[in-house]
Amino acid sequence: MTYERGGAAETVDGVLVALADPTRRQLLDLLAAQGMATATTLAERLPVSRQAIVKHLAVLDAAGLVTGSRVGREVRYTVRPAALDAAARWMAALAADWDRRLATIKRVAEAAEPEQG
């Protein structure tokens, strides 16, 4: 299994980078709680400028975690679960793979050292 090449790898990469920042996670929490919000409203709830929020939203958008739609003069952002779900599945698969490998290694080691038991 190789996780860097092919298919959903780029998607996962973007999600991981996006989620690595605490401010962006807070942003996602606020968005999920309110269902919808604009950069200006979100900036009122966080200790950073509106422009900082805009940049974070751009990163989240590029990662597929949020989407924004224009309504008149404001842009309303919403959360998108799909990319997050894909990343969660990727991680779960990776953890399962590690478990499998470690189990195999353990079996081999026990077979090679029968003096233990």
Partner DNA sequence: CCGATGTGCAACTATCAGATTGCACTAAAT
Partner DNA sequence: ATTTAGTGCAATCTGATAGTTGCACATCGG
Per-position x/- string for 16-55, each x denoting binding to a copy of itself as judged by CB under 8 A, each - no binding = xx-xx-x--xx-xx--xx-xx-------------------
Binding-site partner at residue 56 among DNA, a copy of itself, none, CB < 5 to 8 Å by type: DNA
Per-position x/- string for 29-68, each x denoting binding to DNA as judged by CB under 7 A, each - no binding = ---------xxx------xxxxxx-xxx--x---------
CB 112, min distance to a copy of itself, A: 13
Question: Exposed, middle or buried, 107 (CB in 10 Å: 0-12/13-18/19+)?
Answer: exposed
The pair phi, psi for residue 51, each rounded to 5°, is -60, -40
CB 7, min distance to DNA, A: 22
Closer Cβ to a copy of itself, 44 or 94, answer by number: 94
Q: Which of 5, 35, 15, 6 is CA-nearest to residue 89?
A: 15
Q: Which helix (H) or strand (E) holds 67?
A: strand 66-71
Torsion of CA 69, 22, 42, 62, to 10 degrees: -10
CB 58, min distance to DNA, A: 9
